Amino acid sequence: METLYIIGNGFDLHHSLPTSYADFNRFVLSNNIELSDTIEEYFTMNLSDHFLWSNFEEDLGSFDWELFHSNHNNIDTNNDNFRPSDTYGLEDELVAEAEEIKQVICSTFEEWIESIDISQARRKLRVLKNSRFISFNYTLLLEEIYNIPQGRVFHIHGDISGNSEELVFGHNKTMDEVPELDEKGDSNRTLFTDSESAAKAPFHSFYKPVGEIINSNTDTFESMKDFKDIYVLGHSLNYIDVPYFKEIHNRSKKSKWHVSFYEDKEKETHLSTLLQIGIPSESINLYKL
């Protein structure tokens, strides 16, 4: 049976690559101050251990659509010159502005990844080349520094080679929506229902479609089964990505899981997550990287 390696961002960081979201924050401040201002205004970016944007993907789910809508809504419904059709212009404006926010964040994120120089990185870990790899990273550290054949590496969220679709990143939060009808069957629509929906677009744009990614890569996951050993290197086992691990475990029930942690406090949370996935405790080996 083959060995599977699951590679997270801690793997790149272990090789001294500037791939933390704090590094992305510095890149934005140096290259696009307007984007930094937009993010600061509409998103709640958490501060953890003095690192800005430490949970950037999760924080994309904090988009303040109500403030976004309010900042663009100059319509006074009490004005004698008010016309209901004025709301169409507001909706169009918000659609355009929402798309701009999405495009600028995505393009800047890609520019940041492209700017990361891996040429000076050196191998620090021993990995078996004839293994299979699932990488959550966008860099080509495995292929270019460890000389792993491209066909053995599945970049589950895309990579910077340009051979895949756009890079995938984001949150997994949901938003409560007002139903079309109330309990009496009357419409809940208002003059601003459509423009408010347009204002919510950035929130929905950065939803990470984990389920869709699994479903669209069924053949790949099906080919990754019955491993003797699974090594998880530098992945935080965050709740957004847990469905991937469940999918792997369901196809490889007898595997021994060797899971790295960076800080001692992660050891307990990693164990808890792995047990919740359904991996037996006797099949789990935790070690510090």
Residue 165, pLDDT score:
59
- Give me the percent of the chain exceeding a pLDDT of 90: 78
How far apart CA 223 and CA 37 sit, in angstroms, is: 45
pLDDT band at 50 (very low <50, low <70, confident <90, very high): low
pLDDT band at 74 (very low <50, low <70, confident <90, very high): confident
Residue 75, pLDDT score:
82
Residues in the chain: 289
pLDDT in tens, 195-252: 999 999 999 999 999 999 999 999 999 988 889 999 999 999 999 999 999 999 999 9
Residue 162, pLDDT score:
67
Residue 55, pLDDT score:
84
How far apart CA 5 and CA 258 sit, in angstroms, is: 9
Please state the rounded mean pLDDT for residues 281-288. Answer: 96
Provide the pairing of β-strand 47-48 with 51-52. antiparallel
pLDDT band at 51 (very low <50, low <70, confident <90, very high): low
In whole numbers, what is the pLDDT of the chain averaged over residues?
Answer: 91
Please state the rounded mean pLDDT for residues 9-19. Answer: 96
How far apart CA 79 and CA 271 sit, in angstroms, is: 61
Highest mean pLDDT among 20-24, 264-268, 280-284: 280-284
Residue 177, pLDDT score:
76
pLDDT in tens, 99-140: 999 999 999 999 999 999 999 999 999 999 899 999 999 999
Q: H-helix or E-strand containing 3?
A: strand 3-7
pLDDT over 80 (residue 69): yes
How far apart CA 244 and CA 268 sit, in angstroms, is: 20
Residue 186, pLDDT score:
67
Please state which of the ranges 3-17, 66-80, 164-178, 258-272 shows the lowest mean pLDDT. Answer: 164-178
The sign of the CA dihedral 133, 138, 140, 142 is: negative
Tokens of 120: 């000076």
259 forms beta bridges with 232, 286
pLDDT over 60 (residue 169): yes
Tell me how many domains the chain contains.
1
| Domain extent at residue 16 | 3-288
How far apart CA 92 and CA 79 sit, in angstroms, is: 21
